[in-house]
A and B are shown apart, each in its own frame.
Chain A
Amino acid sequence: MFFDRLTELDFSLVTTEEIFIMIEGYAVVFVVLSLLYLVFHNMPKFIDLGKSLKKKLQSRKQSIVEAAEKRMGKNGNGAAKEQDQAVPEISGEVNAAIGAAIHMFANEHHDEESTVLTIEEVSRRYSPWSSKIYSVTNLRR
Chain B
Amino acid sequence: MQGLENFYHYTGFYNVTPGHLIMIAVACFFIYLAIKKGYEPLLLVPIGFGIIIGNIPFLQGADLQLGIYEDGSVMNYLYQGVLKGVYPPLIFLGIGAMTDFSTLISNPKLVLLGAAAQIGIFLTFFGAIALAFNTGAAGAIAIIGGADGPTAIFLSSRLAPDLIGPIAIAAYSYMALVPVIQPPIMRLLTSDKERRIRMKPPRAVSKIEKVLFPIIGLLLTAFIAPAALPLLGMLFFGNLLKESMVTERLAETARNSMIDIVTILLGLTVGASTQATTFLTPESILIFVLGALSFMIATAGGVLFAKFMNLFLPDDNKINPLIGAAGVSAVPDSARVVQHEGLRYDSSNHLLMHAMAPNVAGVIGSAVAAGLLMSFLM
Residues on A facing B (Cβ under 8 Å): 1-2, 5-6, 8-11, 13-14, 18-19, 21-26, 28-37, 39-41, 43-44, 47, 92
Contacts and interface: CB of A to CB of B under 8 A. Distances in A.
B130 A13 contact: yes
A44 B361 CA distance: 19
B209 A40 contact: yes
B108 A8 contact: no
Contacts of B204: 92
Contact of B217 (A28, A30, A31, A36): A36
- Interface of A: prevailing SS: helix
Contact of A13 (B129, B221, B376, B377): B129
Interface residues of B, number: 48
17 contacts: A5-B282, A6-B289, A9-B127, A18-B129, A21-B377, A22-B126, A26-B118, A28-B372, A32-B225, A33-B114, A34-B112, A36-B216, A36-B217, A36-B364, A37-B112, A39-B220, A43-B212
Contacts of B126: 14, 18-19, 22
B206 A33 contact: no
B87 to A, nearest CB: 24
Contact of B105 (A13, A19, A33, A43): A43
A32 B114 CA distance: 11
A10 B132 CA distance: 8
A41 B105 CA distance: 8
A32 B216 contact: no
A22 B217 contact: no
Contacts of A18: 125-126, 129, 135, 138
A8 B125 CA distance: 16
B25 interface: no
B26 interface: no
Nearest to A40: B108
A47 B377 CA distance: 41
Contact of A33 (B119, B365, B372, B376): B365
Interface in B22-61: none
A109 to B, nearest CB: 25
A28 B112 contact: no
Interface string B246-290: 000000000000000000000000000000000000100110010
B368 interface: yes
A105 to B, nearest CB: 24
B212, B217, B368 interface centre (most CB from chain A within 10 Å): B368
B372 A11 contact: no
A132 B368 CA distance: 76
B98 interface: no
